[in-house]
Amino acid sequence: MTDVKVRFAPSPTGNLHVGNLRTALVNYLFARREGGHFMLRIDDTDTERSTPEFEASIRADLEWMGMNWDSEDRQSARLDRYDAALKQLADAGRAYPCYETPEELALKRKAQLSAGRPPVYDRAALKLTDEQRAEHEAAGRRPHWRFLLNDAEVTWTDMVRGDVSYHMSSLSDPVLMREDGRVIYTMASVVDDIDHGITHIIRGEDHVTNSAAQIQLFEALGATAPVMGHVALLAGADGEGLSKRLGSLSIGQLRGEGTEATALASLLARIGTADPVVPQAAMQDITTGFDLSRFGRATAKFDPAELVQVNARIVQQLSFADVADRLADAGVDGGEAFWMAVRDNLSTVAEAADWWQVCSAAITPVIEAADVTDAAAGLLPEGEMSADIWQPWTKSVAEATGAKGRGLFMPLRLALTGREKGPEIAPLLMFIGRDRIIARLRGDSA
């Protein structure tokens, strides 16, 4: 069996967002699950919009996700190869020059639509004589080049959609190269896939029509098309198309908000399947549970609120070793004991630093029941503070004041942390310290 080789081919014209990251992730997980090869190809032929900054951002996002690639290439280094492929197609009669301007093509499309016909290119350029072509050239017109589709039905067995068929009569001959000599994705991608030995192409369902035309292009260049798989596009939680905000939600933004890479991977690897989302803290576990055959044709729904929930469950699985460096960078020096004291109450790792400030820096205590907090200050045991003192201490406060339940514990929480919710107080006592505890119970900022 041929070794699996897939590629992720972003254009460095913007930052990665959840939609194109999902495409990258599906390819990566498929390759790793099959023991295959994951390639990064930078599709940078759009010189007007491609920037080194966007490319660096894409690379940083993939590295943050732990999606390391096995090889890479870039289209801007292969321009001579595309010229050669175009010549091969032209010599075989499968590529032809066209001299219509964009304005003339737009008028043709408008006329076809007005007449109730599909806006398919009429192949007028094939009827040009040598003299007419020479006249266009003399007038300064440079041709764009189109691929001559065979009038036939293209069929393939899709890894996601099953048996697919598409008749070429409904498609315009695709443009291969612009009049300014810039290669179009349609041809560049096929030439790259041939030269790089790509065995499987996995991408969004919006490429189904492209795939039909490209299968003929593979064949015209003397190659067999890779196995195709077209996954459903992402939609919002309501099933509608992604909103502008959600569609442009960058991976860098999610990272900045405290999203864990494996939380994002856990969610994107399962939405669109019939399987439940399982928060996995290790990419290897996500890979083991990945199965492309489980993806269905129904629209995949991405809900940011679900990502928040998955993220919290991931954070609450992380060991101190997993987060030690990040905590140190944030100035948290409470060690493993502090991490374990707050972990189960966190939605992001960054929130641990917030609770470290609650414990170690001055706060404004909230005194809700002075009789309870005053009694607690007087009854606080001598010696080192630890979680072990919590139960006997609060029992003595209850006996002295008659307070119980919420009437006992909420005043203590508000005084000691200034907040109504948070981690259990008992393990935080050692980090707040005896002097701060007494000061806060008496209403003093400490």
* Tens-place pLDDT, residues 110-147: 998 999 888 999 999 999 999 999 999 999 999 999 99
Give the pLDDT confidence score for residue 340 in this predicted structure.
97
147-180: pLDDT as tens digits: 999 999 999 999 999 999 999 988 999 999 999 9
Domain 244-315 has CATH 1.10.540.10: no
Q: In what order do the strands lie in the sheet with 71-74?
A: 5-8, 37-42, 71-74
Give the pLDDT confidence score for residue 301 in this predicted structure.
87
31-61: pLDDT as tens digits: 999 999 999 999 999 888 999 999 999 999 9
Domain 370-441 has CATH 1.20.1560.10: no
Range 303-329 average pLDDT? 96
Burial class (CB in 10 A: 0-12, 13-18, 19+), 222: exposed
Range 285-294 average pLDDT? 95
If we measure between CA atoms, which residue out of 330, 252, 238 comes closest to residue 15?
252
What secondary structure does DSSP assign to 409-436, as a single string? HHHHHHHHHS-SS-S-SGGGHHHH-HHH
For residue 96, which amino acid is it? Y
Give the pLDDT confidence score for residue 245 in this predicted structure.
46
Burial class (CB in 10 A: 0-12, 13-18, 19+), 128: middle
Q: What's the CA gap between 291 and 270, in Å, rounded?
A: 9
340 CB contacts (<8 Å, ≥6 apart)?
A: 320, 427
CATH superfamily label, 5-74+186-234: HUPs (3.40.50.620)
| Architecture in CATH of 80-177 | Alpha-Beta Complex (3.90)
Q: What's the CA gap between 100 and 145, in Å, rounded?
A: 11
Torsion, CA 293, CA 297, CA 302, CA 303, rounded to 10: -110
| Count of all residues that appear for the chain in the document | 446
Q: Is 245 helix (H, G, I), strand (E, B) or coil?
A: helix
Give the pLDDT confidence score for residue 244 in this predicted structure.
45
Is the CB of residue 6 less than 8 Å from the CB of residue 38?
Answer: yes
* Pure H helices in 228-295: 244-247, 251-256, 261-268, 283-288
Q: What's the CA gap between 146 and 144, in Å, rounded?
A: 7
359-403: pLDDT as tens digits: 999 999 999 999 999 999 999 999 999 999 999 999 999 999 999
Give the containing element (helix H, strand E) for 229: strand 227-231
